[in-house]
């Protein structure tokens, strides 16, 4: 085959796109500027590096839209999900991975594929010819971002994404904290004890909120505004929205019983999730923050059980860039003004590792089909993957377009759906049953 697919960016989307196209028999060149050109968030030059969390979220493919997306990506032979399964960690019903082992394995798989070659370079302009996928993610370099703005004639949108801190497990006081997954979720004892929980009394919670609100925060650069994505809010921003917000969010105490004091109900609970296979690192769940480093250490040590904690990484904040996809992309994920260019991943306005990889999977398959002389239609909007691509290529309101995780609200409704809590569970199962059937047909039609 004489035509080659070029992919800019070796993150979740770019890695998956490269794998899918190569598996379809199309030669691929994967362009990645790291490690020659570093970003403040990445620590290595490996592909599919996880910089924010080590979780792919819920793995329930019967009643959760994220779990359904996992199922679809597995069915499509996705590299990201296959590798995640091989390097999974106990996470109480979620899919979490050993992040270093995961990215190293993705890198090894890509580098060993006979149809994938690599260019360690920074692409600074959108190419005018050839087949390209732009999968540069939320940290698109300034030069390429400027080229995108110039080409599209529209300003990229931006939001701020915050990184949660990571604690050394040996410094957590287990005389105060205990191991338990919320509602004891999981089929094994390891799954049911996947999280470490730190309880707070009402007085401790109130003092923590006071310190959080008073802590010194990261300043934004001139011209930047804090347009946060609601799914990844810094904890201090949540606290500013109301003193009880955190207690009904990442610090909710429901479904947990203090193993040390089972008769006492905690007013709030901070959860930590295992971050590596060795169990030596735990990240503080939902504790993305823009506090300055000195403030983080002192405020987080107010959490019972973390009073002597040492941090492998403190939190941080950075600007994420994405395009207004509903106005710019067609249903093949191509730039309408320059159809030789496809976009995939977070730069399209999907949010999350899984969603980014899924859009890479689609873009890679669509580009491969086009290079081979065909045209691959997107999956039905009733599927998880189809609902996402439909959302970013026209289903969303362009004027208020914001990053979006996969959720059942993006799916066409079920005619037979019933209301109420029990009805909601049945409805979710109906969504996933319908999606699996349609996605299976979509795959079968590709031969």
Query: What tens digit of pLDDT does each residue of 120-139 get?
Result: 888 999 999 999 999 998 77
Query: What tens digit of pLDDT does each residue of 247-258 get?
Result: 999 999 999 999
Which among 295, 297, 265, 267 has a CA at the least distance from the CA of 284? 297
Residue 411 has pLDDT above 80, yes or no: yes
- In terms of pLDDT, which residue wins out, 159 or 301? 301
The answer to whether 315 is annotated as binding is no
The answer to whether 50 is annotated as binding is no
| The pLDDT value given to residue 261 | 96
Q: Kindly state the percentage of the chain with pLDDT values over 70.
A: 91
| The pLDDT value given to residue 404 | 85
Please tell me the least confidently modeled range out of 95-104, 195-204, 279-288. 279-288
Query: What tens digit of pLDDT does each residue of 325-371 get?
Result: 999 999 999 999 999 999 999 999 998 899 999 999 999 999 999 99
How high is the mean pLDDT of the chain?
90
Query: What tens digit of pLDDT does each residue of 67-77 get?
Result: 999 999 999 99
Residue 225 has pLDDT above 60, yes or no: no
Q: 340 near 371, Cβ under 8 Å?
A: no
Q: Which two tokens stand for residue 1?
A: 């085959």
- In terms of pLDDT, which residue wins out, 191 or 22? 22
The answer to whether 10 is annotated as binding is yes
Residue 312 has pLDDT above 70, yes or no: yes
In whole angstroms, give the CA distance from residue 358 to residue 175: 42
What mean pLDDT is predicted for residues 97-116?
A: 96
Residue 279 has pLDDT above 50, yes or no: yes
Residue 36 has pLDDT above 70, yes or no: no
The answer to whether 374 is annotated as binding is no
Please tell me the least confidently modeled range out of 78-92, 233-247, 391-405, 407-421. 407-421
How sure is the predictor about 231, in pLDDT bands with cuts at 50, 70 and 90?
A: low
In whole angstroms, give the CA distance from residue 344 to residue 131: 14
In whole angstroms, give the CA distance from residue 323 to residue 150: 12
The answer to whether 14 is annotated as binding is yes
| The pLDDT value given to residue 401 | 83
Question: Which residue in the block uniquely carries the two structure tokens 């993006």?
Answer: 410
Q: Which distant-in-sequence residues (6+ apart) come within 8 Å of 209 by Cβ?
A: 239, 243, 246
3-state secondary structure string across the chain: CCCCEEEECCCHHHHHHHHHHHHCCCCEEEECCCCCCCCCCCCCCCCCCCCCCCEEEECCCCCCHHHHHHHHHHHCCCHHHHHHHHCEECCCCEEEECHHHHHHHHHHHHHCCCCEEEECCCCCCCCCCCEEEECCHHHCCHHHHHHHHHHHCCCCEEEEEEECCEEEHHHCCCCCCEECCHHHCCCCHHHHCCEEEEEECHHHHHHHHHHHHHCCECCCCCCCCCCCCHHHCCHHHHHHCCCCCHHHCCCCCCCCCCCCCCCCCCCEEEEEEECCCCCCEEEECCCCCCECHHHHHHHHCCCCCCCCCCEEECCEEEEEEECCHHHHECCCCEECCEEEEEECHHHHCECCHHHHHHHHHHHHHHHHHHHCCCCCCCCCCCCHHHHHHHHHHHHCCHHHCCCECCCHHHCCCCCCCCCHHHHHHHHHHHHHHHHHHHHHHHHHCCC
Please tell me the least confidently modeled range out of 107-116, 208-217, 260-269, 397-406. 397-406
| The pLDDT value given to residue 321 | 82
Q: 398 near 326, Cβ under 8 Å?
A: yes
The answer to whether 11 is annotated as binding is yes
| The pLDDT value given to residue 415 | 78
Range of 46-55, 124-133, 145-154 with top mean pLDDT? 124-133
| Ordered domains of the chain (ranges, CATH) | 5-156+323-445 (3.50.50.60), 163-318 (2.40.30.260)
Q: 282 near 167, Cβ under 8 Å?
A: yes
Please tell me the least confidently modeled range out of 149-163, 196-210, 268-282, 357-371. 149-163
In whole angstroms, give the CA distance from residue 37 to residue 35: 5
How sure is the predictor about 287, in pLDDT bands with cuts at 50, 70 and 90?
A: very high
In whole angstroms, give the CA distance from residue 86 to residue 277: 11
| The pLDDT value given to residue 53 | 83
Q: 367 near 191, Cβ under 8 Å?
A: no
Residue 207 has pLDDT above 70, yes or no: yes
Q: Which two tokens stand for residue 63?
A: 């009643």
């Amino acid at each position: 085959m004489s035509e080659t697919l070029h992919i800019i960016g070796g993150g979740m989307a770019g890695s998956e796109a490269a794998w899918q196209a190569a598996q379809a028999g199309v030669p691929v060149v994967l362009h990645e500027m790291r490690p020659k050109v570093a970003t403040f968030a990445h620590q290595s030059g490996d592909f599919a590096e996880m910089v924010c969390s080590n979780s792919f979220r819920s793995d329930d493919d019967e009643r959760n839209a994220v779990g359904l997306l996992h199922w679809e990506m597995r069915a499509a032979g996705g590299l990201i999900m296959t590798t995640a399964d091989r390097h999974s960690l106990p996470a109480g019903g979620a899919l979490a991975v050993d992040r270093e082992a995961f990215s190293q394995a993705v890198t090894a798989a890509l580098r060993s594929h006979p149809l994938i070659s690599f260019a360690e370079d920074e692409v600074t302009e959108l190419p005018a010819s050839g087949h390209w996928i732009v999968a540069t993610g939320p940290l698109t370099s300034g030069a390429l971002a400027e080229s995108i703005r110039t080409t599209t004639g529209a300003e990229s949108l931006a939001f701020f994404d915050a990184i949660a801190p990571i604690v050394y497990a040996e410094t957590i006081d287990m005389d105060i904290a205990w191991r338990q997954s919320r509602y004891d979720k999981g089929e094994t004892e390891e799954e049911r004890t996947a999280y470490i929980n730190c309880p707070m009394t009402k007085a401790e919670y109130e003092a923590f909120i006071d310190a959080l609100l008073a802590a010194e925060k990261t300043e934004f650069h001139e011209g930047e505004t804090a347009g946060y994505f609601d799914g990844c809010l810094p904890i201090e921003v949540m606290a500013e929205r109301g003193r009880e917000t955190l207690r009904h969010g990442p610090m909710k105490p429901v479904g947990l019983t203090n193993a040390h004091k089972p008769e006492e109900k905690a007013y709030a609970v901070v959860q930590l999730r295992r971050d590596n296979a060795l169990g030596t690192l735990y990240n503080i769940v939902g504790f993305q923050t823009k506090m300055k480093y000195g403030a983080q250490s002192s405020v987080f040590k107010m959490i019972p059980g973390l009073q002597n904690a040492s941090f492998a990484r403190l939190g941080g904040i950075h600007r994420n860039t994405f395009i207004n996809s509903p106005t710019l992309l067609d249903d093949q994920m191509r730039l309408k003004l320059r159809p030789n260019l496809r976009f995939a991943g977070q730069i399209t306005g999907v949010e999350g590792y899984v969603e980014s990889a899924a859009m890479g999977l689609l873009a890679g398959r669509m580009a491969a089909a086009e290079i081979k002389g065909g045209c691959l239609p997107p999956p039905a909007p009733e599927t998880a993957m189809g609902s996402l691509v439909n959302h970013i290529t026209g289903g969303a309101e362009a004027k208020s377009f914001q990053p979006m995780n996969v959720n059942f609200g993006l799916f066409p409704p079920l005619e037979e759906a019933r209301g109420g809590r029990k009805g909601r569970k049945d409805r979710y199962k109906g969504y996933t049953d319908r999606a699996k059937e349609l996605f299976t047909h979509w795959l079968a039609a590709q031969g």
